[in-house]
Structure 1
Amino acid sequence: MSRRDRKKRQVLTTLVDVTMKLFIEKGFDETTISEIATAADIGTGTFYNYFHSKEDVLRYVLTKKLNETKDSLEELNHSSMSPPEKIAQILLTVGKIFKENQQLFNLCNRHLALMGPPHGTEFKDILVDMIQAGQINGDFRKDLPTEMITELFMGLIKSTITSHAKIPFEENLNYKLSLFLDGLMTR
């Protein structure tokens, strides 16, 4: 990598870090591009060399996080774990990523007009592969349509994120995972 490319990468990293810090401290609407540029020690025009708007910064960070998550899930999908272990691990991985990045996801939900899931169908496709492998192996019930299992699984994550129960996040997720797998497993 050339010196110029390293410098560009360093500016981008600083710009993203500073922007996200300001969004969290001051709020998205209250943060101006001029403040971001000043805090990142760049000119306002330089901001526009990297992003067209504050929303673009959020999209960039969200896309980067989702790509990292997708890579982890694909690695998990190709592991030697059994389908039930993969399903459990995918839920725990996604739950952990959400918990660690809750502020980012909250900002994105409030300030980005996302048309459908920002990651497309990749996550769902990985999940469907795991479910179908479990049904073929005889680990999972075959009388349940894959679409229903997928919807229920995605609902577990959403219900844990929005839960009002006075149960810690991971514990809440583990309870729901146990109930889900009990209903999915063959007897």
Structure 2
Amino acid sequence: MSRRDRKKRQVLATLVDVTMKLFIEKGFEETTISEIATTADIGTGTFYNYFHSKEDLLKYVLAKKLDDTKDSLEDLNHSSMSPPEKIAQILLTIGKIFKENQQLFNLCNHHLALMGPPHGTEFRDILVNMIQEGQKNGDFRNDIPIEMITELFMGLIKSAITSHSKIPFEKNLSCKLSLFMNGLLEK
């Protein structure tokens, strides 16, 4: 990697770090691009060499996090675990990632007009693959359409993430996973 490329990566990483800190400390609306550039020790024009707006930077950070999540889920999909173990682990992995990045996801929900899941079909494809494997192996029921199982699973994730219950997040997730798996497993 050339010196110039290393410098670009360094500036990008600094921009992301500084901006996210400012968003969390001051709020999205209150943080200006000029303030971001000053704090990152770059010119305002340099900010625009990387991003068109604060929203673009926020989308970039979200996309990076979703790419990292997708990579983790792909590794899980190709693991030697049984389909029920994979389904359980996928939920726990997503839950952990959400908990670790809750401020980022809250910012995105409030300031980006996200229509549906921002990860496209990749996550659904991984989940469908796991369900098909489980049905083929006789681990999961075959009388429930895959579309319904994936819809319920996505609803379970959303329910745990948006829950206002006083039950701690991990326990909430674990209980919902148990309910889901008991209905999915072949008896």
Asked if these proteins are the same fold (TM beyond 0.5), I'd say yes
Residue matched to 2:44: 44
What does residue range 94-173 of structure 1 map to in structure 2 within 5 Å? 94-173=94-173
Residue matched to 1:90: 90
2-structure distance, mates of 1:113, 1:173: 26
Shift of 1:118: 1.4
Shift of 1:100: 0.6
Shift of 1:119: 1.1
Q: What TM-score, normalized to structure 1?
A: 0.98
Shift of 1:116: 3.0
Residue matched to 2:12: 12
What does residue range 24-43 of structure 1 map to in structure 2 within 5 Å? 24-43=24-43
Runs of 4+ in structure 1 deviating by more than 6 angstroms, as ranges, are: none
Shift of 1:2: 0.7
* Unaligned segments of structure 1, at least 5 residues: none
Aligned-pair identity (%): 85
2-structure distance, mates of 1:66, 1:164: 24
Residue matched to 1:73: 73
1-structure distance, mates of 2:56, 2:77: 31
2-structure distance, mates of 1:186, 1:117: 29
1-structure distance, mates of 2:49, 2:162: 37
Shift of 1:145: 0.8
Residue matched to 1:2: 2
Q: Could you give the per-residue CA deviations for residues 120-178 of structure 1, whole angstroms, max 9, x where no partner exists?
A: 11000100110011001000001111111101111111111111221110111001101
What letter is aligned with 1:83? P
Residue matched to 1:183: 183
**Residue correspondences, number:** 187
* Unaligned segments of structure 2, at least 5 residues: none
Q: Could you give the per-residue CA deviations for residues 30-52 of structure 1, whole angstroms, max 9, x where no partner exists?
A: 00000000000000000001100
1-structure distance, mates of 2:162, 2:84: 25
2-structure distance, mates of 1:73, 1:154: 14
1-structure distance, mates of 2:113, 2:177: 30
Q: What TM-score, normalized to structure 2?
A: 0.98
Matched, 1:22 2:17: no
2-structure distance, mates of 1:78, 1:137: 15
2-structure distance, mates of 1:168, 1:127: 25
Please give the secondary structure, in 1, of the residue aligned with 2:156.
helix
